[in-house]
Chain A
Amino acid sequence: MSPRTARKGHSPMRLRLLLAPLLVCAALSAALAGCTDEEPTGIEGKKVLRVGVKFDQPGIGQERRDGTFEGFDVDVAEYVAAALGATPEFVRITSDQRERRIRDREVDLVVASYSITPDRRREVNFAGPYIIGHQDIMVREDATDVAGVHDLRGKRLCQAGGSNSWRRVTVELGIKARLVPAATYGECVRMLQAGDLDALTTDDVILAGYALANPDAFRLVNAKFTDEKYGIGLHKDDIGGCEAVNRALTRMYQDGTAARLLARWFRPAGLKTTGHVPQFEGCS
C-alpha cells in the first residue's frame, strides 16, 4: 500500500515523485559500479590465459612436433589455470623476453624455469616459487677435471641469453670462467656436445632433462651450489592474480598433484625433491 494507490487521479505527478528516488538509486549504483572497475587487467576472471613456457627444455617446457607443449612447467601451468577457472594457451618464450612480455601484457603468466631474483622482482610480480632448483654443472661424459663450481676457473662456460646462471659463477662467486655466449640452453647443449664448451651451468632440474635425453654424452657434477626459486611471473600490478596463483599452488601441494608431477618429471633423472610447498615470495 502506498500513496500511489490513493491518488490514481494524479499518477503522473506521483509517479514522478516515486521514480525520483529510484532514478537517484540507479544513478548512484551506476556511479558505484563505475568505481569498482579498477582491476580490469588482472588474470582473475579471464577464460583464457596466455602462458609463456620454454620450448627447448626437456622435462621443463618442450614443444612437441605437433606444436603442443610438455614438461613440469607446462603441467604446473595447466593446474594453476584450471584452479583459476581458465584454459591455458601456451606460447613459446625465451629467457630474455620474459620481463618485457609480461610488462607489455603479451602473456598473462610466465611459467618458464623463471628463477626469482631481487632484480627481476622489481619488474614483475612472482607467485610461488613452486619448486626450488639447485644450480649444478653439466660436462661431457668423459670430462674429469670439474668436480665443483670452483673448478670452473679458466673453463669455457656457456652464457645463455636472458639467463642468470652464469652470473652466479662469474659475478657472485667471482670465479674467472671464460664465457661463451649462446642464445638458448638448447644451443649451449649442442655446443657442449660439439666440444665448443667445457661446461654448462644452470639448475639441476633443467640439466637433468638434457642429461636424461642424452645419457651417453653428458653427466652432472652434482655440485649444487645455489637455491633457485622458480616462480610464476605476472604483471607487477596484478596482486590479486598473484595471490590467487599462490592459493592454487598451495592446493597443488596439498592435494598430492605436486608430488605426482615431481615424480613424473624428475624422478627418472634421479633428482630428489622435497615435495613440500616452498616458501612463497609474497605478492606486492
Chain B
Amino acid sequence: MTDTLAPPSRRREPGPRRRRARYRRRGGALGPPRTVPAVLRIWTAAVALALVGLFAAVHSGVDEAREGLRVIGRDAGPQAVNTGTLYLALSDMDAQLAGILLIGREHRLGQGRAKALAIYEKRRREAGQAVLQAFDIAGQNATGRETVQSVLDGLGAYERLAARALVLDERAGHRAGPPPAPVLAVYRQATDLMRAQLLPQAYNLTLESAAIVRRTHVSETDRATDALARVAVAGVVLLGVLGGLQVTISRRFRRAVSPPLALATAVALAITALAATSLGRSSAHLRAAKEDGFDSALTYARARAISNTAAADQVRWLIDPARADTYEQVYFDTSQTIAYVPAGNLAAYYTALEKVPLKGGFLQSTKATDPVVVRYRAFQKADRTLRGLAGAGRTRHAIVLRTGTMVGVYADYDRELGALVARGRTVFDDRITRAERALGGWGTGLPVGAAAVLALVLLGVRPRLAEFR
C-alpha cells in the first residue's frame, strides 16, 4: 500500500512543467522553496490534514449513531411501550366499571364488587403514571404533548362520569343484569368517551412512536453504511499519506524504517479498525433491538391492548342489550385482528380457530402449541359458551360465567401476552445497552488516539529536520 505512494524519483529528466516550477522557485514568488525540510514539513501537514479527516469521519459517525440510538432506545421506543401500558390501564378501567354495574347489588357475584373497585383504582393510578411519563417523553414534540394533554383532560371527565354511574347504580340497587336506564345512560357517556376519545388517542400515540422507530431504523441502516464508508476512506487516505512520508524519509535519509512513524501508522490503523468495528457492532445491535426486540414487544403490546377491549366488549354486550349487535360485531372484528382465520361470523370463527392454522393477525407468528395460542383458544371457547347461554335465555348463567370463571380465563391469556411483551422488551433493552456500549470510549479515545498519531509523526520527523540545522 505505502509503496504506491512513494514520491517519484528526482533523477527523471525535467519536463516543461518542471522547468516552469524551477523558474518560480528561483523567483521565490509563488511556489514554496524546494528544500528537504520544506518537503518534510509539507508531508507532515498532509498527515495532519488526513488525520483531521479521520477524526471528523469517526466523530460524526459515532455522533449520528448515538442520535439514532437515543431516538429508538430512549425516546420513541420507550414511548411506544409506555403508551401501550396507558391503553391497557384505560381499557381495563372501563371493563371494571362495566363489570361493577353488571352485578348491581349482588356484590359477591363472580370476582365481586370490592375486588373490581380495587382493580379500577389500581388501573387509574397506572394510567395517571403512564400519562405523566408519556408527557415527559414527548418532550418538545408539540403534537405528542397536545395528545397527552387531551388524554389527561378526558381522563378527568371519564372519572367524573364513572363516579356518577357508580352512585346511581348503588341507589338503584338492581339485581345482576343490565342496570336501569338512568345508570346505563351515564355509563354510555363514560364508555363512549373512553372508546371514542381516550383509547384512540393512546393507541395512536403508540402507533406514531412505532412509526418514528421504524423510520429512524430505516434511515439509521443507510446512515451506518455511509458512516462506515467514510471512516474506511478517511483511514485509507491517512495510511496512504503516512506511507508516503515514510517512503520519503527512507529515500532521502537512507533509513529503512522510522520507528515512530511505523508506530503512528499502527495507531492510525487501530483507530480506523476500531471505529469501523464499533460503528458496525452498534448498528448490528440496534438492528437486533428493533427487529428481535421492539417489533415483537410492540406486536404483543398491541395484541394485549385490544384483547382487553375484546374482553370488555363481552361485559358491555351483557350490560347494554340495545347495543349488543354492535358490541358483538366489534368483538368479532377485534378477534380477527388478534388471530385471523377466514370466517363469515363469530360461530364460524370459533370453529375455524380450533381447526385451521392462523392466517394473520397479531398472533400469526406463534405456533399452535404456544401457550399464548392455547390460552387464546380457551378465551374464545369461553366466549362461545357465554353467547350460547345468553342466546338460550340463560342470562344469569352467562353473567355468573363472565364475572367469575371467565375473569380467570382472560387473566391467563393476558399473562401470556404480558410475558411475550416482557421478553421483547428484555431483548430490546439488552441490545440497546450493548449498542450504546459499542459506541463508548470514543469521547476520550478518539482525541487521545489522534494526538498520539500526531505526536509520533512529529517525533519521527523532528530528528530528520534537525539534521539540517
Residues of chain A with a CB closer than 8 A to B218's CB: 240
Residues of chain B with a CB closer than 8 A to A282's CB: 207, 210, 302
Interface: A47 (CB within 8 A): no
Interface: B270 (CB within 8 A): no
- The tally of residues in B whose CB lies under 8 Å from a CB in A reads 65
Nearest CB of chain A from residue B20's CB, rounded to whole Å: 8
Q: 0/1 per residue, B217-236, Cβ < 8 Å to A?
A: 01000100110010001001
Residues of chain A with a CB closer than 8 A to B340's CB: 118, 122
Partner of A274 from B18, B197, B347 at Cβ < 8 Å = B197
Residues of chain B with a CB closer than 8 A to A172's CB: 329, 332, 344-346
Partner of A9 from B14, B43, B225, B332 at Cβ < 8 Å = B14
Q: Looking across the interface, which residue of chain B has its beta carbon closest to that of A167?
A: B344
Residues of chain A with a CB closer than 8 A to B360's CB: 118, 121-122
Q: 0/1 per residue, B18-31, Cβ < 8 Å to A?
A: 10010000000001
Q: 0/1 per residue, A24-41, Cβ < 8 Å to B?
A: 110011001001100000
CB-based contact A8/B31 at 8 Å: yes
In whole angstroms, what is the CA distance A208 to B214 when docked?
40
In whole angstroms, what is the CA distance A122 to B18 when docked?
73
Partner of B215 from A6, A8, A243 at Cβ < 8 Å = A243
Given A5-B31, A226-B326, A247 contacting B21 (CB threshold 8 A): no
Nearest CB of chain A from residue B393's CB, rounded to whole Å: 16
CB-based contact B344/A277 at 8 Å: no
| Stretch from B34-42, B257-265, B272-280, B429-437 at the A interface | B34-42
Interface: B167 (CB within 8 A): no
Residues of chain B with a CB closer than 8 A to A119's CB: 342
Q: 0/1 per residue, A60-74, Cβ < 8 Å to B?
A: 000000000000000
CB-based contact A28/B229 at 8 Å: yes
Residues of chain B with a CB closer than 8 A to A5's CB: 31-32, 42
CB-based contact B45/A1 at 8 Å: yes
Partner of B7 from A10, A29, A250, A254 at Cβ < 8 Å = A10
Interface: B146 (CB within 8 A): yes
Partner of B207 from A2, A240, A246 at Cβ < 8 Å = A246
In whole angstroms, what is the CA distance A255 to B233 when docked?
48
Within 8 A of B (CB), among A48-98: none
CB-based contact A17/B329 at 8 Å: no
Partner of A276 from B49, B143, B200 at Cβ < 8 Å = B200
Nearest CB of chain B from residue A188's CB, rounded to whole Å: 21
Interface: A251 (CB within 8 A): yes
Interface: B119 (CB within 8 A): no
Q: Looking across the interface, which residue of chain A has its beta carbon closest to that of B204?
A: A280
Interface: B267 (CB within 8 A): no
Interface: A141 (CB within 8 A): no
Residues of chain A with a CB closer than 8 A to B225's CB: 32, 35
CB-based contact A10/B345 at 8 Å: no
Interface: A194 (CB within 8 A): no
Q: Looking across the interface, which residue of chain A has its beta carbon closest to that of B338?
A: A118
Main secondary structure of the interface of A (DSSP, over half): helix
In whole angstroms, what is the CA distance A168 to B32 when docked?
89
Interface: B337 (CB within 8 A): yes
Residues of chain B with a CB closer than 8 A to A168's CB: 329
Residues of chain B with a CB closer than 8 A to A11's CB: 17
Residues of chain A with a CB closer than 8 A to B147's CB: 250
In whole angstroms, what is the CA distance A27 to B270 when docked?
25
Q: 0/1 per residue, B221-254, Cβ < 8 Å to A?
A: 0100110010001001100110010000000000
Residues of chain B with a CB closer than 8 A to A20's CB: 240
Q: 0/1 per residue, A151-168, Cβ < 8 Å to B?
A: 000000000000000011
Given A28-B233, A277-B204, A239 contacting B214 (CB threshold 8 A): yes
CB-based contact B8/A254 at 8 Å: no
In whole angstroms, what is the CA distance A21 to B5 when docked?
12
Nearest CB of chain A from residue B2's CB, rounded to whole Å: 12
Partner of A3 from B43, B208, B330 at Cβ < 8 Å = B43
Nearest CB of chain B from residue A1's CB, rounded to whole Å: 5
Residues of chain A with a CB closer than 8 A to B38's CB: 6
CB-based contact B196/A274 at 8 Å: yes
In whole angstroms, what is the CA distance A227 to B215 when docked?
31
Residues of chain A with a CB closer than 8 A to B347's CB: 174
Interface: B325 (CB within 8 A): yes
Residues of chain B with a CB closer than 8 A to A28's CB: 229, 233
Residues of chain B with a CB closer than 8 A to A247's CB: 208, 211
Centre residue among B14, B201, B302 by max chain A CB count within 10 A: B201
In whole angstroms, what is the CA distance A279 to B330 when docked?
13
CB-based contact B42/A1 at 8 Å: yes
CB-based contact B204/A250 at 8 Å: yes
CB-based contact A25/B233 at 8 Å: yes
In whole angstroms, what is the CA distance A283 to B8 when docked?
62
Residues of chain A with a CB closer than 8 A to B192's CB: 274
Residues of chain A with a CB closer than 8 A to B214's CB: 239, 243
Nearest CB of chain B from residue A15's CB, rounded to whole Å: 12
Interface: B187 (CB within 8 A): no
CB-based contact A21/B203 at 8 Å: no
Nearest CB of chain A from residue B331's CB, rounded to whole Å: 11
In whole angstroms, what is the CA distance A122 to B341 when docked?
11
In whole angstroms, what is the CA distance A172 to B233 when docked?
64
In whole angstroms, what is the CA distance A36 to B220 when docked?
11
Nearest CB of chain B from residue A185's CB, rounded to whole Å: 20
Q: Looking across the interface, which residue of chain B has its beta carbon closest to that of A118?
A: B336
In whole angstroms, what is the CA distance A250 to B204 when docked?
9
User: Can you list 12 pairs linking A and B with CB atoms under 8 Å apart?
Assistant: A3-B42, A5-B42, A8-B21, A10-B8, A134-B326, A172-B344, A226-B325, A226-B329, A227-B330, A277-B201, A277-B204, A282-B210
**New contact pairs (16) apart from A36-B222, A172-B332, A283-B207, CB-CB < 8 Å:** A1-B45, A1-B46, A1-B49, A2-B46, A2-B49, A5-B32, A9-B14, A28-B233, A118-B337, A118-B360, A121-B360, A226-B326, A274-B197, A277-B200, A279-B199, A282-B207
Residues of A at the B interface (CB closer than 8 Å) are 1-3, 5-11, 13, 17, 20-21, 24-25, 28-29, 32, 35-36, 117-119, 121-122, 132, 134, 149, 167-168, 171-174, 224-227, 239-240, 243, 246-247, 250-251, 254, 274, 276-280, 282-283
Q: Which 8 A-B pairs have the closest CB atoms?
A: A279-B200, A118-B336, A225-B325, A171-B344, A9-B18, A243-B211, A6-B42, A276-B197
